[in-house]
């Protein structure tokens, strides 16, 4: 598990401090959602229960796993009263578990609502630009490059990783960080993740709205012929797997004024790659760096392979995520300096009071 000890990050952070910035960004995201939903006449009532219930269930399972692991460690070390010790550790962690169990799903409610409103408020007009940018950088449309590289015989492996594996990693990592990492690292992780989604998945998604190759034809007739071979290749290889199901599902609700879990279309920048970049940054100087880099590469290739994204979407997301991570580190370093200064003032006051 990624821990702050491996990063050399001191504790010097309260639970309140770790939760404060992610909580504030969640409030901001919900405010944006309320505004965009109102302007687009979007019904968001169906979002809350699915997100919150699924996140709470995953967090409950994670807590059970945490208790089992800690008891096993203490029992193996012949520690006295392992159950009592784990109870105390769990009580310290439970407030932090509000982040993956409640704050994260509420943030996703706001994000999904804002994302679903993009079509009705600004539409999608940047697909041709980003498609041409991809072609200029990589000398071909990237769906074509990845098809030549990977073929189609093993597409089911890639689609399960991209469609199912990414979501599993997203929620498992959030719970693992809240349970095992130090509080300052928890604050940095969730602050950086939420900032990536807020800046990239909301602000930039509206400013440079693109649907992605697989959906671009619904909005820009000029790219229909360009991506027709891609659709034919996808239809021939995907069958009834999770990618085919998701793409058909999203296509059927494009014009519906009801936001649903996982709904909405937005390609630039890619939040799949934004999140994967956060994993890489979080894994610096740990044994998890190589797996996180491999995961990033797989998601990057898959984003083009399945036509969800232009590769410039992923590159832009990596830049946004890196910026968000650096800002989060700076924010929590500033809080450390303020905390040290406050303790110094208190100590001096105590000394003067005793003179």
Per-residue pLDDT at 72 exceeds 70: yes
Residue range 311-333: mean pLDDT, rounded: 96
Dist CA 60 CA 44 (whole Å): 26
Residue 166 has a pLDDT of 93
List, for residues 176-193, the tens digit of each pLDDT value. Answer: 999 999 999 999 999 999
Q: Residues 111, 254: contact at Cβ < 8 Å? A: no
Residue 186 has a pLDDT of 96
Per-residue pLDDT at 352 exceeds 80: no
Q: Residues 258, 46: contact at Cβ < 8 Å? A: yes
Q: Phi, psi (5° rounding) for residue 27?
A: -60, -45
Per-residue pLDDT at 239 exceeds 80: no
Residue 5 has a pLDDT of 45
- Determine the angle formed by the axes of helices 82-93 and 48-76, rounding to 10 degrees: 150
**Matching residue, tokens 């690292």:** 185
Asked, for residue 67, whether it belongs to a domain, the answer is yes
Residue range 196-209: mean pLDDT, rounded: 96
258 forms bridges with which residues in the sheet? 43
Asked, for residue 314, whether it belongs to a domain, the answer is yes
95 membership: H or E segment, kind and range: none
Asked, for residue 195, whether it belongs to a domain, the answer is yes
Range of the domain at 292: 13-340
Kindly provide the residue ranges of all beta strands, DSSP E only, lying in the chain, ordered along the sequence.
none
Dist CA 82 CA 269 (whole Å): 47
Asked, for residue 108, whether it belongs to a domain, the answer is yes
Asked, for residue 1, whether it belongs to a domain, the answer is no
- Determine the angle formed by the axes of helices 183-198 and 311-354, rounding to 10 degrees: 140
| Total domains present in the chain | 1
Residue 336 has a pLDDT of 54
Residue 6 has a pLDDT of 47
Per-residue pLDDT at 328 exceeds 90: yes
Per-residue pLDDT at 344 exceeds 50: no
SS3 151: coil
Residue range 268-281: mean pLDDT, rounded: 96
Residue 243 has a pLDDT of 87
What is residue 266's DSSP assignment? Answer: -
43 forms bridges with which residues in the sheet? 258
Asked, for residue 152, whether it belongs to a domain, the answer is yes
Residue 338 has a pLDDT of 46
Q: Which is higher by pLDDT, 209 or 160?
A: 209
List, for residues 116-164, the tens digit of each pLDDT value. Answer: 999 999 999 999 999 999 999 999 999 889 888 887 766 778 888 888 8
Dist CA 169 CA 290 (whole Å): 15
What is this structure's pTM?
Answer: 0.88
For the chain, the straight-line distance linking the first and the last C-alpha, in angstroms and rounded, comes to: 48
For residue 179, give every residue at least 6 positions away whose Cβ sits within 8 Å of its Cβ, in sequence order, or none. Answer: 62, 63, 66, 93, 96, 97
CA angle 102, 113, 264 (to 5 degrees): 115
Computed over every residue of the chain, the mean pLDDT equals: 87
SS3 26: helix
Residue 1 has a pLDDT of 47
Per-residue pLDDT at 354 exceeds 50: no
Banded model confidence at residue 38, pLDDT cuts 50, 70, 90 = very high
pLDDT above 70 coverage of the chain, percent? 90
Q: Which is higher by pLDDT, 344 or 131?
A: 131
Residue 153 has a pLDDT of 67
Residue 2 has a pLDDT of 47
For residue 214, give every residue at least 6 positions away whose Cβ sits within 8 Å of its Cβ, in sequence order, or none. Answer: 227, 230, 231, 234, 247, 306, 307, 308
Residue 7 has a pLDDT of 47
- Determine the angle formed by the axes of helices 183-198 and 166-180, rounding to 10 degrees: 150
Asked, for residue 235, whether it belongs to a domain, the answer is yes
Banded model confidence at residue 210, pLDDT cuts 50, 70, 90 = very high
Banded model confidence at residue 61, pLDDT cuts 50, 70, 90 = very high
Per-residue pLDDT at 343 exceeds 70: no
Residue 11 has a pLDDT of 53
Asked, for residue 355, whether it belongs to a domain, the answer is no
Dist CA 127 CA 131 (whole Å): 6
Q: Residues 189, 14: contact at Cβ < 8 Å? A: no
């Amino acid at each position: 598990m990624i821990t702050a000890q491996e990063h050399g990050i001191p504790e010097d952070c309260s639970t309140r401090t770790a939760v404060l910035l992610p909580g504030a960004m969640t409030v901001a995201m919900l405010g944006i959602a309320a505004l965009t939903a109102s302007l687009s006449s979007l019904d968001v009532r169906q979002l809350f229960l699915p997100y919150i219930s699924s996140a709470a269930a995953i967090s409950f399972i994670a807590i059970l796993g945490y208790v089992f692991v800690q008891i096993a460690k203490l029992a193996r070390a012949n520690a006295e009263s392992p159950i009592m010790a784990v109870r105390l550790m769990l009580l310290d962690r439970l407030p932090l578990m509000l982040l993956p169990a409640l704050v994260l799903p509420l943030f996703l409610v706001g994000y999904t609502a804002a994302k679903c409103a993009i079509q009705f408020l600004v539409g999608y007009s940047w697909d041709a630009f980003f498609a041409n940018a991809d072609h200029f950088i990589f000398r071909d449309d990237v769906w074509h490059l990845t098809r030549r590289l990977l073929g189609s015989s093993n597409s089911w492996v890639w689609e399960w990783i991209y469609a199912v594996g990414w979501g599993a990693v997203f929620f498992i990592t959030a719970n693992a960080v809240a349970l095992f990492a130090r509080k300052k690292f928890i604050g940095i992780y969730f602050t950086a993740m939420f900032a990536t989604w807020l800046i990239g998945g909301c602000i930039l998604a509206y400013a440079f709205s693109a649907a992605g190759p697989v959906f671009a034809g619904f909005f820009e007739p000029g790219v229909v012929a360009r991506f027709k071979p891609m659709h034919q290749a996808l239809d021939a290889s995907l069958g009834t797997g999770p990618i085919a199901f998701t793409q058909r599902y999203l296509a059927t609700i494009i014009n519906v004024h009801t936001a649903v879990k996982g709904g909405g279309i937005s390609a630039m920048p890619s939040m799949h790659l934004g999140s994967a970049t956060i994993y890489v940054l979080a894994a610096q100087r740990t044994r998890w760096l190589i797996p996180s880099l491999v995961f990033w590469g797989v998601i990057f290739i898959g984003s083009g392979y399945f036509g969800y994204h232009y590769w410039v979407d992923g590159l832009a997301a990596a830049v946004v995520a890196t910026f968000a991570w650096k800002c989060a580190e700076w924010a929590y370093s500033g809080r450390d300096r303020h905390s040290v200064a406050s303790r110094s003032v208190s100590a001096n006051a105590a000394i003067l009071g005793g003179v």
